[in-house]
Structure 1
Amino acid sequence: MDLRLLRMFVAVARAGHYGTAAIELSISQPALTKQIQVLERRVGAMLFVRGRQGARLTTAGKALLPDALDLLDRADAFERRASSVAAGDDGSLAIGFGLSGIQLAPQAVALFRSRYPRVAVSLDDMSSAVQCERLLAGTLQIGFIRLPAPVGVDSLRLRRDRLSLALPSTVDPPRSVAAWLDGRPMIRLRPDRGPGLTGQIDRLYAELGCRPLVLQEAADLQTVLALVAAGVGAAVIPASADAIAPDAVRLIPLRGRAASWWIGAAWSERSLLVDRFLAAATEAART
């Protein structure tokens, strides 16, 4: 249906007169009459009865007027929202984060939402590998990943993270971390839940020349920290997990080339919304 014809139909219905409606629409009355006739042929019914008093809606015209008004209202709403989306003030963003972004991602989202409250933002926990797969598939707009990013995914460095030894607060830090870790039963996150973290820890163990044992595995970092707090054992975790660590846990930063890495924001397709979120993430990373 041609929205222009519907606007003419509504204008005549509201004015009750072809001449008055023609003036409002800035067209000639004969041209308006012809357009209404085109609309009547399309719907297959007369919409107006013309007389000395002007133009009166027929039964069909009265029945179709509410639908015409609804269509025009929705078309106008679409145009307003399209303009808002194009301006970056409206729309939606699907954002992913993993262990590396457990602190930074929520901070960036909070800052972005404070500036663009009409943008719908979803934030989901997933590994860096899954985030990159979804970025390439187009189901995720931004990810907080462990760098470097794979081919096809662009990234922006935001903040460095490093591995820390999580101990119960009642336990004194070891003098020689490598000797202390060698052969010690440790709590760890399940490798399938954090493959990037597992690889980082394994590289550090190889660098330190130690081989800790696995005492217990957990499906999430909160459970790992809870087990450490309960005195079950120690764990190697990202230093950024300090944001969710209970008071009964102390974190000891670990040294070594493999002990640190970059956290970055990643994307595969740029847009105004993505650019605005990257600006918020960059600002959040500086705090």
Structure 2
Amino acid sequence: MDTAAKSAPGAASATRAADLAPHELRVLVAVDSERGFSAAAKALGLTQSAVSHSIRGTERKVGAVLFERGRKGATPTAAGAAAAAHARRVLRLLDTLAAEARGAERGTVAGPLRIAAFRSVALYLLPPVLERLTARHPGIEPEVRVVRELGAGTAGEVAQGRADLGIATIGATSPVPAGLIGDVLIEEPYSLVHPAGHPDPRSLPLVDWHENCGSYTRTWWAGQDWIPKATVLTEDDGAVLSMVSRGLGMAIMPALSLNGAPDGIEITDLGPERPSRSVGYVTTPEQAATVAVRALIRELRAAEGGAGSEARLR
């Protein structure tokens, strides 16, 4: 590790983090994203020495070592990961400042709107919402990234400053992460999905996928002695539906995933005690105050019935 970086936290000449300039934040984000000074320099059109000098200066101002330097590149420390997330959010707010100032002058809303969503939301919930949003605000440019709802998931994209708003699985067992705000939009009931006309679908092997269930319905699943351990585990819900339609098993799936289900599938209600999954939006307090995010939330809340016949919008 370079000695200048080691001395950063205790440097007597350390200045305040408030003195960080936008170009220093961009360098910080680039090194975090590229995991190396050379790669970051190439991405930014700078020299490696300029990037290294900028990071050393940032470490002095922050008062913490942000990257471990090594042969394999630059690995963010815990402080570095936190700083990079804040840097992305600050840079995004600077972009928003300019966009909203121009919009206030012209009476319009314009610019990119970054949305993170998991697959079924991106396929079935968002398209009609974004259609209405862009019809009302033609200057808004939605950018949708499909993110697997595993680990930090879509909420993590928001927390890291990579998305302005995420559509996430939230609720009593999966609260909105600390530092973010949000609310539930949809309660998705789960149903039994099986080959049409099968005389005893509960006897079939279980087909499942990595994102399904999680903590949302774990208690219910644990109490169902008829649900076997999955014999087939796929990457997404579309693959599950395809396999069930071919008679390879049954599945237990939430409502959004059942939109556009292929021929050969039958959907059976699991009764009044069926589990459900709560889907909602998460954003940062700063982005929640922006015109574009507020407009998107309004359209999401107005989308009653737009999530499919089984999903109930709140």
Same fold (TM over 0.5): yes
Q: Superposition pairs for residues 179-194 of structure 1, below 5 Å?
A: 180=202, 184-189=204-209, 191=210, 194=211
The aligned residue for residue 257 of structure 2 is 241
Residue number among 288, 298, 308 corresponding to 1:279 in the alignment: 298
The aligned residue for residue 49 of structure 1 is none
Give 1:127 shift: 3.2
Q: Which has the higher helix share?
A: 1
The aligned residue for residue 154 of structure 2 is 131
- Secondary structure in 2 aligned to 1:284? coil
- Secondary structure in 1 aligned to 2:215? helix
Give 1:216 shift: 1.1
Q: Superposition pairs for residues 123-272 of structure 1, below 5 Å?
A: 123-128=144-149, 129-148=152-171, 149-172=176-199, 180=202, 184-189=204-209, 191=210, 194=211, 197-255=213-271, 259-268=275-284, 269-270=287-288, 271-272=290-291
Give 1:201 shift: 4.7
The aligned residue for residue 24 of structure 1 is none
- Secondary structure in 1 aligned to 2:304? helix
Aligned: 1:109 with 2:144 = no
> 1:80 and 1:274 mapped to 2: Cα distance?
13
Report how many aligned residue pairs link the two structures.
198
> 1:134 and 1:120 mapped to 2: Cα distance?
18
Verify the 8 A CA contact 2:170 2:279 in the aligned structure 1: yes
> 1:185 and 1:258 mapped to 2: Cα distance?
20
Please identify runs of 4+ aligned residues in structure 1 that moved more than 4 A: 79-82, 85-88
When the two structures are superposed, what TM-score results if normalisation uses the length of structure 1? Answer: 0.61
> 2:189 and 2:279 mapped to 1: Cα distance?
10
Larger Rg computed on CA atoms: 1
Q: Counterpart amino acid of 2:206? A: M
Give 1:85 shift: 7.1
Verify the 8 A CA contact 2:194 2:249 in the aligned structure 1: yes
> 1:124 and 1:256 mapped to 2: Cα distance?
35
> 1:277 and 1:173 mapped to 2: Cα distance?
44
Q: Counterpart amino acid of 1:186? A: L
Q: Of the two structures, which has the highest relative contact order with CA contacts closer than 8 Å and spacing of 6 or more?
A: 1
Give 1:110 shift: 2.0
- Distance 1:150-1:121 versus aligned 2 partners, 3 A rule: same
For residues 206-229 of structure 1, the C-alpha deviation after alignment (integer angstroms, 9 at most, x for no partner) is 133444122211111111101111
- Distance 1:80-1:211 versus aligned 2 partners, 3 A rule: closer
Verify the 8 A CA contact 2:100 2:291 in the aligned structure 1: no
Verify the 8 A CA contact 1:201 1:236 in the aligned structure 2: no
Give 1:111 shift: 1.8
Q: Superposition pairs for residues 66-77 of structure 1, below 5 Å?
A: none
- Distance 1:263-1:85 versus aligned 2 partners, 3 A rule: farther
Aligned CA-pair RMSD: 2.6
Name which of structure 1's ranges 108-117 and 220-229 shifts more when overlaid on structure 2.
108-117
Q: Superposition pairs for residues 30-69 of structure 1, below 5 Å?
A: none
Verify the 8 A CA contact 2:206 2:227 in the aligned structure 1: no
For residues 22-81 of structure 1, the C-alpha deviation after alignment (integer angstroms, 9 at most, x for no partner) is xxxxxxxxxxxxxxxxxxxxxxxxxxxxxxxxxxxxxxxxxxxxxxxxxxxxxxxxx998
> 2:164 and 2:200 mapped to 1: Cα distance?
42
